[in-house]
Homo-oligomer: A and B are copies of this chain.
Amino acid sequence: MAAKYERAADDLRAKILAGIEGFEPGARLPSETQLADAYNISVPTMREAIRVLRLEGLIIAKQGVGSFVRSERRRIRRSADRYQWEKDRVREPEDVRKTTGATEKDTGFELPELEFHAVFEEVPADAQIAKDFGVAEGTPMLRRLYRTQSRNEDAPVSLVTSYLVYDVVAQNPDLLDASREPWPGGTQHQLSTVGVEVDSIEDVITTRPPTQQESDQLGINPVGVAVFVLRKTSVDTTGRVVEVSYVVLPGDRTEFVYQTKLKRWEWE
């Protein structure tokens, strides 16, 4: 026989998915005590049932207020088209570049809506980074931390840690100055000022549970929501890795899109 908390969870889930009166998205659920009474189980057991549905992302609890049926979140689309688009803009005049950046392109937000944090630091390459770049461990790297989030309260977008080889970018001192961010035209343009042309970009996508810090920063309220980790590796025309960035995105508000064109058959 199924556990009591499971039966309660199953029943509640069914009500929510069916959208029954009082259980539609956004609706406020009865209190834990009331629910426990309704299912003839103790409050802790009812809490366990609710926890299951929170893990599934169906319910959000707000302390002091109540529990609510979660409404569907709009996903932000992140397309690989952004890379070619960014490259094309490198050779546009500055006033064109200034208008928007790639993040704004994906999110649909306008520039002024985005709060932009940047912290720059010179750090030695650890084992992972050394491997990513194919350089010796300890090689000086420029590490840049970005946090982009909407100024209108609760819509943080991504946490970015970007690595560049220090000696490469140091040729242009402006690139070492965090206060110059956001740089009009993005990373590809920054690299172009030190003679680097990006030739290809590899994205590797994984998912994992968020750390506590990431939950806070990305505003991941519900338990059980994962984050995407995108490792983006840029290779220049000489085959050298020029940038590696790790981008953490909220799993419930992001989707990735990739287009693969196939070669046509030649019919004889």
Contacts and interface: CB of A to CB of B under 8 A. Distances in A.
Contacts of A74: none
Interface of A: 55-57, 75, 80, 83-84, 87, 91, 197-209, 211, 223-226, 228, 237, 251-252, 254-265
B258 A209 contact: no
Given A87-B263, A91-B265, A207-B228, A258 B80 contact: yes
Q: How many copies does the complex hold?
A: 2
A260 B203 contact: yes
Contacts of A80: 258, 260
B224 A255 contact: no
B200 A260 contact: yes
A258 B261 contact: no
B202 A258 contact: yes
Contacts of A205: 205, 255-258
Contacts of A265: 91, 197
Contact of A204 (B204, B237, B255, B263): B255
Contacts of A225: 209, 226
A251 B87 CA distance: 32
A258 B255 contact: no
Given A56-B209, A200-B261, A206-B254, 19 more contacts: A56-B211, A80-B258, A80-B260, A84-B260, A87-B263, A199-B262, A200-B262, A201-B262, A203-B257, A203-B259, A204-B257, A205-B255, A207-B226, A207-B252, A209-B225, A209-B226, A224-B224, A224-B226, A237-B264
Contact of A84 (B87, B223, B226, B263): B263
A256 to B, nearest CB: 4
B264 A55 contact: no
A84 B264 CA distance: 10
Contacts of A56: 209, 211
16 contacts: A56-B209, A80-B258, A87-B263, A91-B265, A200-B260, A201-B259, A203-B257, A203-B260, A204-B257, A205-B255, A205-B256, A205-B258, A207-B207, A207-B251, A226-B226, A237-B264
